[in-house]
Structure formats: structure tokens, C-alpha cells
Amino acid sequence: MQKIISEINEIVQDEALGKGSIIPYFEEIQGRFRYLPPEALILVCEHLNIPLSQAYAVATFYHAFSLRPKGKHCMNICMGTACHVRGSPQLLDRLETKLGVKAGSTTRDKLFTLETVNCLGACALGPIVVIDGEYSGQMTPQKSDALLRRIMRSEEKEQRG
């Protein structure tokens, strides 16, 4: 806890983020911690002298920010139009079923966060799934099964150590 607070304080003191708005601070914190801890909102507000209610409104408005920690593996499915006509809804269905969560949620074991994302602009390769920052194109429900299996296998390996 102390560690989180001291790291956040470091970010808050960063001059390069400017004093114009909370958003660059939130981006930095979200990038570092993969979510916005409540302490982050409080400390940034104190530093910038803005009401906490405004920070909370911003944190809940923009999809880039989450107030709950994300899972270890982030799966983003592109819901762009080109991907849509190439079958991304079936892909989403499949992943929701396999992971047991609806898009926008994290699995109970905190391993996976499943999200939809607006067009990534790699339309020739649709449907696209981005997992942990890596793009996988021309995905099908079967390929996504294989992808999940691969990740689970490496997770098990890690656990066995």
C-alpha cells in the first residue's frame, strides 16, 4: 500500500505532465498500475486542487481508465465495421462462453480481462484480437480456442515453476 502511494506521489510530482488537466496523470497511473487506485484520484486532486468529484467523473467516463484492477491477460476484440462483417460477433460470443464472463469483465481467477475495442484500423486482417498487446488477425472461434489453450498451458507451466 505504501509502495503504491509513494509511486503515485512520484507521478504526481512529475512536472512533465503539466498542470492543465488530470488526464495525463491518470494515463500515466493507468499505464503503471493497470488501473486507477482510489489513492491516485485523491492525491492527484490534492496536487491540482480540483474537486474529487470531478476526478471520479473523469475516471468513470473514459474507457481508457478502470477503477478495478485488470486481469493478467487483456484480450481486446476489435468491433470495427470491417471486423463485424467478417465475423467478430461470433468470436466475441465464443470467448465470452469460454471465459465465462461478459465483455468488460475480468474472470474470477483474475487471469483474463475480456474487452471490446473500437476499430484498431488493421481492417484487412479482421477479425482481430489483441492479447497482451499482440495482434492476432483473421481470428476464428477455433483459433481463439487455440489461443486460450496456449495461454493456459504457459500459465500452468509458470505455476509449476
Partner 1 sequence: MIHLTIDDKSIEATAGRTLLEACRENGIQIPTLCYHPALEPYGACRLCVVEIYKEEQSSRLVAACAYPCEEGLNVKTNSKAVQRNRRVVAELLLASGYDTPEIVALASEFGVKEARYKMPQADSCIICGLCVRACKEIVGISAISLINRGINKKVSPPFEETSPTCIGCGTCVLICPTGYIKLRDVFGSHSIYRYSSDYDRAQCRICSDLNMSSKFNQLIEGVTSDAASYGISGDQNG
Partner 2 sequence: MANIISPVELDPFEIIQEAFKGPDHPSITICGGTGCRVLGSEKLSEAFREEFDRQNIQATLDFDIKTTGCHGFCEQGPLVVIRPSGIMYAHVAAKDVPEIVERTIIGGKIIDRLLYMDPQSGEKIEHEQDVPFYQFQQRVILDLNGLIDPQKIEEYIAEGGYTALQTVLSTMPPEQVIDEIKASGLRGRGGAGFPTGYKWELCKNQPGDVKYIICNADEGDPGAYMDRSIMEGNPHRVLEGMIIGAYAIGAQTGYVYIRNEYPLAVKHLREAIAQAESNGFLGRNILKSGFDFSVGIKLGSGAFVCGEETALIASIEGRVGEPRPRPPFPAEKGLWGKPTNINNVKSWASVPIIITRGADWFANIGTGTSTGTMIFSLVGNINNTGLVEVPMGISLRDLIYNIGGGIPNGKEFKAAQIGGPSGGCIPAEHLDVHIDYESLSALGAIMGSGGLVVADEDVCMVDFARYFMTFTQEESCGKCVPCRVGTKAMLSTLERICNGEGKPGDVEYLIELGEEIKRASLCGLGQTAPNPVLSTIRYFRQEYEAHIIDETCPSKVCKGLITYSVIPENCTGCMVCLRDCPENAISGEKQKPHQIDVNLCTRCGMCKSVCKFDAIMVT
Examine residue 64 and tell whether it contacts partner 1 (CB under 8 A).
no
Examine residue 131 and tell whether it contacts partner 1 (CB under 8 A).
no
41 neighbors 56 (Cβ within 8 angstroms): yes
Cα–Cα distance measured from residue 67 to residue 23, given in angstroms and rounded to the nearest whole number: 14
Say how many C-beta atoms besides its own lie within 10 A of residue 71's C-beta. 20
Nearer to partner 2, 97 or 154 (CB): 97
Q: Which three cell numbers stand for residue 34?
A: 493497470
Q: Which three cell numbers stand for residue 147?
A: 489461443
Nearer to partner 2, 72 or 98 (CB): 98
Query: Burial of 132 by CB count in 10 Å (0-12 exposed, 13-18 middle, 19+ buried)?
Result: exposed
Minimum distance from residue 83 beta carbon to partner 1 (Å): 22
Residue 94: name its binding partner from partner 2, partner 1, none (Cβ under 5 to 8 Å by kind).
partner 2
Examine residue 60 and tell whether it contacts partner 1 (CB under 8 A).
yes
Q: Cell match 476484440: residue?
A: 77
Show the binding pattern over residues 26-45: x = contacts partner 1 (CB under 8 A), - = does not: ------------x--x----
Nearer to partner 2, 152 or 157 (CB): 152
Say how many C-beta atoms besides its own lie within 10 A of residue 75's C-beta. 23
Minimum distance from residue 66 beta carbon to partner 1 (Å): 13
Minimum distance from residue 49 beta carbon to partner 2 (Å): 12
Examine residue 102 and tell whether it contacts partner 1 (CB under 8 A).
no
Cα–Cα distance measured from residue 78 to residue 91, given in angstroms and rounded to the nearest whole number: 10
Residues that bind partner 1 (CB under 8 A): 38, 41, 51-57, 60-61
